[in-house]
Amino acid sequence: WDEVKGNYSVIGPLDDYGTVVLAKDASGKSLAIKRVDPIDKLECKFMTEVYLKSKLAPQLYECGEDYIVMELIEGETLSKWVKKVGSTPILIKSLRTLLDLIGEFDALGIVHGDLHGRNIIVTHGGWRVIDYEHAHRGSQSADDSFCYAARDIIDQLKKVAPEIAKIKYTCSVG
């Protein structure tokens, strides 16, 4: 960690825990650096595979013993984004986007393992997924992730369209 900090200018934390920081390289390019102790190289493997095949993950630049240097995904978390949306059609469309995202992971045969509103970043170019610490092989739609990620959207839908609260739904993809 100390070695990587020597190669980059650390600006400040990007998360509430201080494990991910905003940094700049020598050229001034903004990056995200995640500190882990010690790193599970599978996180880097899955992040790279998802990035190369679907661009849903951040691009990985360096994977050290206790850190990951990666592309900075600019946008806001799905949890924060849905709180600003006051449109029922947009929120319903976001549930469809979430299903499509899960379908992309299914096509890759990867379960993110920790898919929720704070690990999905809404950008101008679409949704991106961060934090591959719990990723593994399998079927994303068989995981409970849809329920966790959809909860933020459904809770906001209930606020902007109270009639939604009366609808019985099951939180499953299949």
* Residue ranges for the chain with pLDDT beneath 70: 1, 39, 141, 167-174
At 66 the pLDDT is: 86
The first and second tokens of residue 167, run together, are 């609808």
At 155 the pLDDT is: 85
Omega before 38 within 30 of 0, i.e. cis: yes
| Burial category of 158 from C-beta neighbours within 10 Å (exposed 0-12, middle 13-18, buried 19 and up) | middle
At 56 the pLDDT is: 97
| Burial category of 165 from C-beta neighbours within 10 Å (exposed 0-12, middle 13-18, buried 19 and up) | exposed
At 163 the pLDDT is: 78
